[in-house]
Amino acid sequence: MEMHSAVTISLIPEARGAPFVFRDDLAAGCEKAAALGFDAVEVFPRSAQ
């Protein structure tokens, strides 16, 4: 089984100080994650909508 890596991106302003790697800018976070070699991102959106 092959291992894959992911990194977190939070779009929740109230979560500042929480242990998320990237914050606020989804596009920039995805670009940085790709540049660092991550396979995926886990997005924490403001809402489900």
CA angle 47/27/4 to nearest 5° reads 90
The whole-number pLDDT of residue 16 equals 82
pLDDT in the model for residue 20: 86
Reported as a single tens digit per residue, the pLDDT across 37-49 is 999 999 999 888 7
pLDDT of residue 36: 95
Phi, psi at 30, each rounded to 5°: -65, -40
pLDDT of residue 37: 96
Low-confidence ranges of the chain (pLDDT < 50): none
To the question of pTM greater than 0.85 for the whole model, the response is: no
Cβ atoms of 26 and 43 within 8 Å: the answer is yes
